[in-house]
Structure formats: C-alpha cells, structure tokens
A and B are shown apart, each in its own frame.
Chain A
Amino acid sequence: MHPVLKLLTQRIALSLILLLMISVLIFAGTMILPGDVAQSILGQSATPEALENLRAELGLNDPPVTRYFQWFFGALQGDLGTALTSGQDITSAIGSRLSNTLFLAFWAALIAVPLAIFLGLLSVRYKDRWPDKLISGVTLASISIPEFLIGYVLMYLVAVKLRWFPSVAMINDSMNLWQKLNSIALPVAVLTLVVLAHMMRMTRAAILNVMQSAYIETAELKGLSTFKVIWRHAFPNSIAPIVNVVMLNLAYLVVGVVVIEVVFVYPGMGQYLVDHVSKRDVPVVQACGLIFAAVYIGLNMVADIVSILSNPRLRHPK
C-alpha cells in the first residue's frame, strides 16, 4: 500500500473513533446537567404523579447505556429524536437551520480565506514597510473589538445611515440567491473581519519562516520578482500550517457564530441551540453538539489530509 494511502486511512479512522468518543462525552455531559426535563416542561406546580408519568413516557427512566445506544444508532440513521418541548422532529428542524448556518459560513469563508491569504502574501512582500503595518494593524484591531460591537457599528453605518443592506438578516426559501446574499451581506462582513486576522497572521508567519531558506535565495538569484518568489517558492512550502489555521477558522464560522446570529436575528444553528439549552431540551442539545463536533472533527481531518498531501516526501517516497 502506498504510504500516503496508509496515512490517510489512519487519519480518517482516527477521526471516526474521535467522533465516537465525543458522542459518548456529549451524551454523558447532558446526563450530568442539573435539572429535570419533566419538571421544566410541566412547571413548578406539577404533581409527582404527572412528573413520573411524563418521565416514563419520555423514556427518562431507562438505564443511560440503553438510552445512549438508542440515541446513537438513531443518529446514525439520521433520526436525532424529537424535541421534548415542541414535539417536533429534530432532524427536519435542524436541517433548515444547518443549511442556513452553512450558507452563511460558506459565503464568509469564500471572502475571508482568499482575502486573508492574499493579505498575508502582501504583508510578506512589503515586510516591515507601511502596507504590512497597515494590514496587521487593521486586522488585529478588528479581531480585538468584540464581534457584537462590530456588528452593531456596521449595522448603524451601513444599514441605518447608508441604507445599503438590511439590518436584519432574515432569509427564507422563497428568496432567490441574490436576495439572500443581499440579506446576509452584513453578517458576512462582520464574520470576515473577525476571522481575517488569525488566518492572515498565520500566513505571514508561515511564509516568513520559509523565506529564510536557501532555496528562496536560489529563486531570488534566478531574477524572479519578489512576489513570484513568494508565490511560487515560499507559499507551496507553507501550505500545511496555513491550511490548519484556515480549517480552525472555518470550524469557527460554523460552530461559533451564535453572537452574530443573535445580533442579526439570523435563523441558524447557534440560536436554535441556545434556545433549547435554556429550555433544557436535552435531545436537541445532544443533536446540535454531535453536529458541531462532526463539523469540527471533519474540518480538522481535511486539514490533516491536505498537510499530508502537500508534503512531497510523503507523496513521492524514494
């Protein structure tokens, strides 16, 4: 077997095992949360009999191991259970939320990733001169300001004063792509500002690290322009660390955008999760946790795979 194939198989198997372990953790974690679902559904005035009946009905009296396997095999078949509070099927409820979240993350990533890498390359090209300092200053400032503040400031300037985009990012299925994009323009802008600095700084650092190498001198002595030296010779050797930080930020775009969703009243996963945490709706919390974990592990797995594939010593062994 080709060594790369072996490595990749290992990596994927490891990710699956990790996901399995996380599912146990999520299940155990929601088990030890304080509070009682039956109590929170029926309220403080419920009689002990009513509580006991509801618990039996919801299957809350079964042993945890049984409930874990029921839940886990259900999840494998796409059945995440029903929400305790509303009785809705979780899979269909999450479906539209998840696609909204991915839609927002996709467009934010599409702008932020190439922009961050380009700015990183530009920073290296003009290292320690004013473009480098300007790029670093602006991106670091934007990551340092709390994202909700950036959100409200942008909303005030762009939506209220200039009236270019709507302040509330509502989308639904009857809108066409252009209308949807128009609607999410502001949250995309805020998310871009938030994730830009991390990726740009890492690109800059990874490439500068490589710029010390002897083969960069060789490239310079071939008479290549500085940008060609960076793009052709430094960048291909710094892909692994850059991809890693890009994937971390992509995961953040999916998993960590709850503040932005609240600010712009966007119907995504984050809001859905927070709502149900406050209602102690355990099956929904478990389902969201599992999906977030899968996204996180999946993206990091992609980062590992790209790192392995970008290494010519692994791709072309002796």
Chain B
Amino acid sequence: MSEPLLKVRDLKIGATVYPPGEKPHDIEIVHGVSFDLMPGKVLGLIGESGAGKSTIGLSSMAYGRGGVKITGGEVWVNGRDILQSKLSDIRKLRGGEVTYVSQSAAASFNPAKPIMEQVVEAAVEQGKFSRKNAEARARALFDKLGLPDPDNIGERYPHQVSGGQLQRCMTALALCPEPDLVVFDEPTTALDVTTQIDVLMAIKEAIRDTGVAALYITHDLAVVAQVSDDIMVLRQGETVEYGPVNQIINEPQEEYTQALVSVRSIDHEEKAPTEEPVLSARNVTARYSGTKFDVLHNVNVDLYPGQTLAVVGESGSGKSTLARVITGLLPPREGDIQFAGRTLSPDFKNRTREDLRELQMIYQMADVAMNPRQTVGTIIGRPLEFYFGLRGAEKRKRIQELLDEIELGDGFIDRYPAELSGGQKQRVCIARALAAKPKVIICDEVTSALDPLVADGILKLLLNLQKIEDVAYLFITHDLATVKAISDNIAVMYKGKVQRYGGKTEVLSPPFDDYTDLLLSSVPEMKLGWLEEVIANRKMESAGN
C-alpha cells in the first residue's frame, strides 16, 4: 500500500482567549486528532462551529489563524513532518504542495488587483510555472470550472464578477500551482443553494480531473456526502466518528452523527388561512433611490394572524427589500402596506408608536443587533420601558418571564452578549421582539448564521412561541428546509416578483414552475450520487450565473 499524502497524528491545537473580565489564558481547541489522506482522495471534515475543523484544515499548511498555535502531534505531508520544518520550507509548501480555498472568496481576493494576477501568483512564486504557462493553465481552469469568457475573465477585478464566479476563481487559484492537496474550507456555504450546486459540481469535477487530494470542510453533511470518499465527524475538537462516506451517511454509529444525519425533524402542520390577514402587501413596487430599476414588481402577499408566511428566494430576489418596505425603511413607489385593518404610513418616521410596537424584527446577525455593552436584562428591558413604561421589580419580573419563555434561565439576566453562544444570542433577540407583544415579527434569515442543530432549536422555539403568544411571522429565508419546517404559506420570489404563492402543501407540490423546481431540487439531500442526478435533470440556470 502506498504512503498517505497527508498523515496527521495526535494533533493538538491551542489558542489564547481573552474572556471579558478575566485574564487571558491558553485553552486547547483540538485534542489529539489523527487521520490519513491518500493521494487523490477526498476527506470531509464535518462539525459545527467551534468543532475545530478549519483549524485542523489550516494545520496541514502549518498555519494558525490569529492566536492559534499548534501545540503537539505530527503533520506529515509527502513524507515530511511539516511541524518540524523551517519557515522557509513551510513557505514552499504553502501555495505549492498545499493550497487553500476559503469560505468567502469575496473577502479572500485582493480588491486592488485583477483576478488573473492573483490566480497565478502562487504558481509563479513557487517556481512551478512561468508566468505565461501559469496564465494559460489558469485560463484552462477557468474554462473547466464553467466560468463565462474564460480567456478574458482574468483581467477583471474581483468586484466585477458574481459571488459564485469568484468562488470558482478561488478554486482555480488553488488548483493553478498543481498542488498535491487542496483544503476547501466551506467553499459553498456563502452561496445560494442554486449557485452552490453549480460550484459544487465544478469543484467535484476539477478534483476528479486533476487527481488532486482534498480536505473538504463544511457543516453541511449533505454537501460533504456528495464529494467525499471518507468523512470525519468532529465535535469540540475531538473525533466523533471517522469512516467511509457510505457508512457515515447510511449507518452512522454515534448518536451525534445520527442527530446530524436526521436533522430537521420538525413536523409542522399547515394552518388554513383565517378570514382577515393581519399584514398585507398590496401591489408593492419599490426601488432604491438613485437607481433606475425596480427591485420589487407589484408584490402581493398576505400574512394571517398567528401563522407563518415564508418568503423564499436567492440573494437579489428582493425578499429583504420587501421587509424594508413593510417596516417603512424603504417607502414603496407604488402600493401600500395594510396592517391590522389600517394602512401603514410608507415611512416609518410617520408611524405611531403602536404601529412600531406591533411590528417587530429579528435579524440574521444577532451579534451586531445587540449593544455589546448592555446586559441581557437591559436589552430585553428596553422595549418594556419604551412601550409599557415598566420599571424596577415589575420590569425585572417580566424579563424573567421572557427569559423562561426562550428557555434561558435566571442566570442570564446580568450577562453580556459576548458571554453567550450564537444560539443564545438569537434567543435574546427573540425575547426582545416578544417583549413588545407584537402582532407580527419579521424574521430575516434568523437561522442562517447558526449551526443546523442550533437552528433547529430556534425554529422549534419560534413555533412554540407562536402557539403561546399567537404572533404571526414573516419568515425571510433562502433555506428551503427551514421553509418546510415552519411555514403555513409560502411566497417564492425571483428577480423581484412573486413567482409562486399559496399554502405550503400547494406550493411544494407539483406541477412546479421552472424556478421553483430549480430551487427545490437544489437543496442538498443526504443521499450519495444526488449531485449528479440533480444536475442531469435541471431545466434552467440560477440567476446568480
């Protein structure tokens, strides 16, 4: 049997942390992980955030992000222990033998330089190719990865191509120096489902055609199942399960892996529309000031009391703009918003305090939606003071009740946002919205930044709260699994228009229009060979291409 290309033994990685109010200290974030990767094979590293998967991926280039340090173990690449190598030898390895594809190509490309210059830089710098040959090779890769106009796209600057295209350019950048190993770090996570599928296929074919080995890092088991030969499931810096892809997907041994495989277990019965909608958009057409085209075209949707309307579509479809129109941040050009039997003023500045109270919002990034210098109690207490004039013991009692409702205990009232996990932060934002006793909450991608299991918990909580508080949700998301889990009605948006609208069962049952079909078929399924199947059956391209 041949030697493994990458051999990791008992890898330990540490970091210095700076918790608020405490002295900085060292912690261990990866506790002795071992694996082998044979030439030309793909190993999927999967786990939630904080599992250490990116950190392990970068250790194959002897690189630690920020204050991260490799504290023990061995990393053998092509028969050399790179942790014992000199810095100058490590530099030859980086960008030559091992290359890296990051999650956000938009941030990982230098905005000041044309794409081609960046794609060939490592290959030229490492002496693998002359500049001319490297450029020819890059153009061939652009072509293979399905980029439009492969001969000239390299002359463009990063901001001149779309997110999906830039992610492929990043893959070309990684493959250009003919590396032995590519580390893919969540390469499709930031993309729309419909774009993800194209990029995924491009990556898969590129791996197969070039015979390069890869570490494929992601939190999405369904995605990694499409490209990997082996899968390693990680949790909090330890290996949970490690085996061939077939065994992990079809016969997971560990309880945690089983939970990952069967995630999204929510069962939600669709409710029939009641007579009067609580919130309606009537013939809404909107554009941003200074632009010459409409972002929303004649949008009509209804949200019924105590129910959920999911607005789904890819980025640029106008779903967040709809939320901006409803909240009065963007007055529409035509049409109006009906709310609880009255017409809302187009501009939020002219709305009454009651209007504002009854229409609350929860955002995607719970982190930035809270003042980091305020305690949880202050954050939740603010709407109680503002809308109901609660003070002192009365306010504190209500905060406690709200904390109980979002399944966080008493201990949280005096904590700061920095001391909470991502899921806990989102729960606090939910409590803040609920504190105003609203009729409608607009949820803008509230689970997109969360790990699947945590997101699942949030969705269950939201459904539960809907029963108790009888609040309606306008749920904006690009994730169809979330839509299936939570909605009563669905509006599918495409290029600013409502493409398909109706009850959940109706919208999700055939016959589909082409776009809904594309959207539904693009959701990764936990099934081997799904990717090839769906690509073969596609009827149209995504708008992101």
Contact = CB atoms under 8 A, between A and B. Distances in A.
- Report whether chain A binds chain B: yes
Given A222-B94, A223-B126, A312 B112 contact: yes
B110 A215 contact: yes
B95 A217 contact: no
Nearest to A234: B110
A213 B107 contact: yes
Interface in A200-225: 213-215, 217-225
A224 B160 contact: no
B391 interface: no
A97 interface: no
Interface in B130-178: 156-157, 159-160, 173
A232 B112 CA distance: 10
Interface in A166-224: 213-215, 217-224
A233 interface: yes
Contact of A233 (B65, B102, B107, B110): B110
B111 interface: yes
Contacts of B80: none
A interface, size bucket: 20 to 34
A221 B125 contact: no
A61 to B, nearest CB: 54
A316 interface: yes
A217 B111 CA distance: 14
A236 interface: yes
Contact of A224 (B91, B102, B108): B91
A151 to B, nearest CB: 40
Contact of A222 (B65, B104, B109, B122): B122
A222 B108 contact: no
A2 interface: no
The residue among B107, B110, B126 with the most chain A CB atoms within 10 A of its own CB is B110
B159 A223 contact: no
Given A221-B95, A312-B157, A313-B159, A214 B104 contact: yes
Interface in A269-318: 310, 312-313, 316, 318
Contacts of A310: 112
A218 B102 contact: yes
Nearest to A317: B160
A313 B126 contact: no
A224 B125 contact: yes
A233 B121 CA distance: 11
B100 to A, nearest CB: 5
A76 to B, nearest CB: 38
B110 A219 contact: yes
Contacts, number: 76
B35 interface: no
Nearest to B90: A223
Contact of A312 (B61, B92, B104, B111): B111
A228 B160 CA distance: 25
The residue among B61, B107, B108, B160 with the most chain A CB atoms within 10 A of its own CB is B108
Contacts of B94: 220-223
Contact of B63 (A220, A233, A312): A220
Contacts of B109: 215, 218
Given A215-B110, A237-B110, A313-B111, A221 B99 contact: yes
A224 B122 CA distance: 8
Nearest to B109: A215
B113 interface: yes
A236 B113 contact: yes
A223 B95 contact: yes
A224 B118 CA distance: 12
A125 to B, nearest CB: 14
Interface in A232-248: 232-233, 236-237
Contact of A221 (B61, B110, B112): B61
Contact of B108 (A217, A313, A318): A217
A318 B159 contact: yes
Nearest to B103: A214
A215 B160 contact: no
A237 B111 contact: yes
Interface string B47-71: 0000000000000010101000000
A222 B121 contact: yes
B381 interface: no
Contacts of B43: none
B318 interface: no
B313 interface: no
B440 interface: no
B96 to A, nearest CB: 6
B181 to A, nearest CB: 12
Contacts of A221: 61, 63, 94-95, 99-100
A223 B94 CA distance: 5
B94 to A, nearest CB: 4
26 contacts: A213-B107, A214-B102, A214-B104, A214-B108, A215-B108, A215-B109, A215-B111, A217-B108, A218-B118, A219-B110, A220-B94, A221-B61, A222-B121, A222-B122, A222-B125, A223-B94, A223-B122, A224-B91, A232-B121, A233-B110, A233-B113, A236-B112, A236-B113, A237-B112, A316-B156, A316-B160
Interface of A: 213-215, 217-225, 228, 232-233, 236-237, 310, 312-313, 316, 318
Given A223-B90, A236-B112, 5 more contacts: A217-B65, A217-B102, A312-B113, A316-B160, A318-B159
